[in-house]
Structure 1
Amino acid sequence: MGTTVFERRRPDDAVVDHALSGARRGVFWLEDVERPQHPPVRGTVRTDLAVVGGGYAGLWTAVRARERDPDRRVLLLEAARIGWAASGRNGGFCAASLTHGRENGRRRWPGEIDRLDELGMRNLGEIEETVARYDMDVDWERTGEMHVATEPHQVEWMREEGHFLDQEAVRAEVHSPTYLAGSWNPAACAMVHPGKLAVELARVAAELGVEIHEGSRVTGISGRGTQTLAIDGGGRVVADHVALATNVFPSLLRRNRLMTVPVYDHVLMTEPLTAAQLSAIGWRNRQGIADSANQFHYYRLTADGRILFGGYDAIYHFGGRVRAAYEDRPESFRRLAAHFFATFPQLEGLQFSHRWAGAIDTCSRFCAFFGLARAGRVAYAAGFTGLGVSATRFAADVMLDRLSGLETERTEFEMVRTRPIPFPPEPAAAIGINLVRASMDRADHNEGRRNLFLKTLDAVGMGFDS
């Protein structure tokens, strides 16, 4: 196999050691915002709609429910704190795509992709309008996302995406010796502060009349008509309808237990750059950036001039559990740091202030799936696979349409009406997922050529080319 640019340009170990020496385990976004506390459920509470999950999917569902029907009683239940999981740990890329990129959607739903892309852009615009209408302090920047080619075989991929930038043009945008070409659509993505977005959505929800409860883990759901939610600690919620937005955590519905797996993503955050350091990399247009390998990096500037650098390693742990112990993986952070300085050698000497990881709710089609249960009383959406910052708002409206028995354009898409292929139980899940990861790494080292295993997954609808 060949090498990638990150191996050819690997910095000295001393550079990596110095950069990580002050990095502490902690999520920068959640430390950079004040999070009001909400009380747990006590006793038995009655409501029209119970929303389970205090991440973006649950928060958007609560907000949209009250916007659509101000008289509806809405209660939101969160097991821990608002936005503490994936919604507070991501890169803050609020991308328009509902299908994890046009190519993923085109392969699966060729007759729908153009309209899905249109609705994705409209959804992004509606998020921007919501931010403005409620004066939400979320560091919103509609800068777009620039994809970059770092290997010769990826250059043609950039041409196919449109908005093509040749080597001179892409390096004029951001000064990295690894860039060979790029593609940049300034309208199709916004940068946002993930922690602030979660907190502000909770603020808006509360101001609209949503009752929010933290520390209220739902342990079970029962009932033929009206649904009863059992809360850890003895509380109960009785609801006419329920929206499940638990994503990476085990579903309360048995039918969904094998539909998602948790895959751990790793992130580094630098100290604020000096004026000289910022000048050395350019980046005046502040767009988000992602490179184009199967194992890709994503990175962006923060409002206070830091660089978030994440991705590449996507780690699945046997058993598919979500555990805090899985968040500290030194070899992944060292690899990220080395790749950072391969990308920006002119920043040698810069240190990282934070390191963290979080679990992504991956499904086999790599974008959200939807459904109804309990005779239409319970709706769910999950499987966003790391691209849920904007897609969760679309999912909220899908769930609310379905719970209201409405047939809308959203609910008629094949994407919405069908479910992905479930993952196999252990040990087959771990074997298969790790074989996929190894095969994708091999493809990255072999000019993008996919082996027979990946081609077979493509053929049965479980393949993914980032």
Structure 2
Amino acid sequence: MQAKGSKLWASALSAAAPTPYWTDRPDRPVPTEPLTTATDADLAVIGGGYSGLWTALLAKERNPGSDVVLVESGMCGHAASGRNGGFCSASLTHGLNNGMERFPDEIDDLERLGRANLDAIEDAVLRYRIDCDFERTGEMEVATAPHELEWLQENYDAATSLGYRSELLDAAAVQRHVHSPTYLGGWWDRDGVAMLDPARLAWGLRRACLESGVRIYEGTPVQRISRSHGGALALHTPHGEVRAPRVALCTSAFQGPLARISRHVVPVYDYALMTEPLTGEQLDAIGWSSRMGLGDASYRFHYYRLTRDNRILFGGYDAIYHYGNRIAPQLEYNEETFETLARHFFQTFPQLDGLRFTHRWGGVIDTCSRFCAYFGSAYKGRLAYAAGYTGLGVGATRFGAEVMLDRLWGLDTERTRLRLVRTRPLPLPPEPLRSAGINLTRWSLARADAHHGRRNLWLKTLDYTGLGFDS
């Protein structure tokens, strides 16, 4: 059995292109010209992922007459925003449980604001005619081990207490939605997650920015920031300069020109596979008719979903950190992880024997010690930043953009008064303690999955100090 399975996944991977499926398309936009001169603006945005694009677009919505410049080192959407799973969650806290644990006194407000944020994203997709396959399908978390059924019950109870439309399903009920021999139960959040095409969302936001008058310069890394005349900040690029009284730093896992962010943010690599389109017979074999996103309840979890043309994206499980916060293109490809994901895919859906993968890729996620975004400022409030989204940035970055704009204009809002916004996570230790701690945590989580969810002394210590990871 094992030999047959090994041969199965090795054959399925043999022709998979080592590039993100979402951006491997002929209709991707043509890059704008890089900045080659000095220019002034009312607001300068560093970074062209979701965070930067939302910040620029919302700034123009708030004040259409403002001059907004966005500079991006590569192409807008080329990093995490163009290579994630396309799960657009309403959660601002990396899940309800993490939010209830860290912000119990304001979880009702955080959930309300998060749901409103997801509604606003859906509205923007329609208003700006962004063709990104937005589907409000929700997400189902499935138990693949008996001890995880209790966790699903806890999630269902918490969601129900907040009035959310969700369902707790036993094994037979889950099988009526998706057929897998590994499923023992499920919890379906019906409204809190949308599925979308992540690259096309980024490209659509980019187009909306350009049509709104945002000046975008791609191929323009910011090498350093200095103070300029009149209290403005100057962003120095290889062949030009942007001067602005307000700057939004939106570089996520990439350190960018503000070194202090690396004390709190850890870049971890996440990996995914994409299958060829399923035939009608193959779709019937798995019965995935409701098209909700799926994720298992393990500590080292998988996430997977259907695309518009009925491919299956299958990712997660490994979250790999490299010594010294290292980020490099070659780290986006990890054959051992791809093989592990392929093996797990066919364990989940053995009825898809013979299906092949067309793409395999990886990307870097920005996380922090509280596993949800945090916010900060520098240069006496003239620069604002947000980071640490921990894989839920598809939705939460829009909220983060609103926070940064509120702070840059000195506004007192419900958002800026949140403890989520006013506090920061604990900094992570320097190397070699950082690497040792992260790898010990990964090992401990794998061990907990193998021992009925029991957390060892290291994980209990992290829980006690407020650094525990739970999803």
Query: One fold, TM greater than 0.5?
Result: yes
Residue of structure 1 in register with 2:24 after alignment: 31
Deviation of residue 10 (structure 1)?
A: 9.4
Aligned pair partner of 2:212 in 208, 215, 219: 208
Give the whole-Å Cα distance in 2 for the aligned partners of 1:180 and 1:399. Answer: 43
The C-alpha deviation readout for 1:152-200, integer Å capped at 9, x for no partner, is 0001111222220111111110001100000112211000101100000
Change (3 A) 1:338 1:47: same
Residue of structure 1 in register with 2:162 after alignment: none
The C-alpha deviation readout for 1:338-361, integer Å capped at 9, x for no partner, is 000000000011000000000111
Give the whole-Å Cα distance in 2 for the aligned partners of 1:433 and 1:196. Answer: 33
Residue of structure 1 in register with 2:116 after alignment: 122
Residue of structure 1 in register with 2:163 after alignment: none
Deviation of residue 255 (structure 1)?
A: 2.3
Residue of structure 1 in register with 2:236 after alignment: 230
Alignment map for 1:264-343 (pairs within 5 Å): 264-343=269-348
Deviation of residue 417 (structure 1)?
A: 0.4
Amino acid at match of 2:151: W
Deviation of residue 305 (structure 1)?
A: 0.9
Give the whole-Å Cα distance in 2 for the aligned partners of 1:185 and 1:16. Answer: 31
CA contact (8 A) 1:10 1:338 kept: no
Aligned pair partner of 2:104 in 88, 103, 110: 110
Residue of structure 2 in register with 1:160 after alignment: 154
SS of the equivalent of 1:455 reads: helix
Give the whole-Å Cα distance in 2 for the aligned partners of 1:253 and 1:354. Answer: 34
Give the whole-Å Cα distance in 2 for the aligned partners of 1:367 and 1:332. Answer: 25
Residue of structure 1 in register with 2:12 after alignment: 19
CA contact (8 A) 2:222 2:256 kept: no
SS of the equivalent of 1:23 reads: coil
Residue of structure 2 in register with 1:67 after alignment: 61
Residue of structure 2 in register with 1:180 after alignment: 184
Give the whole-Å Cα distance in 1 for the aligned partners of 2:239 and 2:6. Answer: 53
Say yes or no: does 1:421 pair with 2:426: yes
Amino acid at match of 1:424: P
Give the whole-Å Cα distance in 2 for the aligned partners of 1:245 and 1:302. Answer: 28
Report the TM-score, using the length of structure 1 for normalisation: 0.97
Give the whole-Å Cα distance in 2 for the aligned partners of 1:258 and 1:251. Answer: 13
Report the TM-score, using the length of structure 2 for normalisation: 0.96
SS of the equivalent of 1:24 reads: coil
Deviation of residue 11 (structure 1)?
A: 6.2
The CA RMSD over aligned residues, in Å, is 1.2
SS of the equivalent of 1:262 reads: strand
Moved more, 417-426 or 91-100: 417-426
CA contact (8 A) 2:264 2:425 kept: yes
Q: Gaps spanning 5+ residues in structure 2: where?
A: 157-166
Amino acid at match of 1:13: S
Amino acid at match of 1:61: T
SS of the equivalent of 2:22 reads: helix
Residue of structure 2 in register with 1:243 after alignment: 248
Moved more, 25-34 or 240-249: 25-34
Change (3 A) 1:227 1:93: same
Give the whole-Å Cα distance in 1 for the aligned partners of 2:309 and 2:3. Answer: 28
Amino acid at match of 1:187: D
Q: Write out the 4+ residue segments of structure 1 that deviate beyond 4 Å after TM superposition.
A: 8-11
CA contact (8 A) 2:13 2:356 kept: yes
CA contact (8 A) 1:11 1:341 kept: no
Aligned pair partner of 1:402 in 404, 407, 410: 407
Q: Gaps spanning 5+ residues in structure 1: where?
A: 1-7
Give the whole-Å Cα distance in 2 for the aligned partners of 1:60 and 1:24. Answer: 30
Deviation of residue 428 (structure 1)?
A: 1.0
CA contact (8 A) 1:273 1:305 kept: yes
Alignment map for 1:187-202 (pairs within 5 Å): 187-202=191-206
The C-alpha deviation readout for 1:269-296, integer Å capped at 9, x for no partner, is 0000111001100111100000011100
**Identical residues among aligned pairs (%):** 56
Give the whole-Å Cα distance in 2 for the aligned partners of 1:56 and 1:171. Answer: 35
Give the whole-Å Cα distance in 1 for the aligned partners of 2:283 and 2:4. Answer: 20
CA contact (8 A) 1:247 1:382 kept: yes
Give the whole-Å Cα distance in 2 for the aligned partners of 1:280 and 1:9. Answer: 22
Amino acid at match of 1:62: A
Amino acid at match of 1:292: A
Give the whole-Å Cα distance in 2 for the aligned partners of 1:375 and 1:72. Answer: 22
Q: How many matched pairs? A: 458
Moved more, 158-167 or 40-49: 158-167
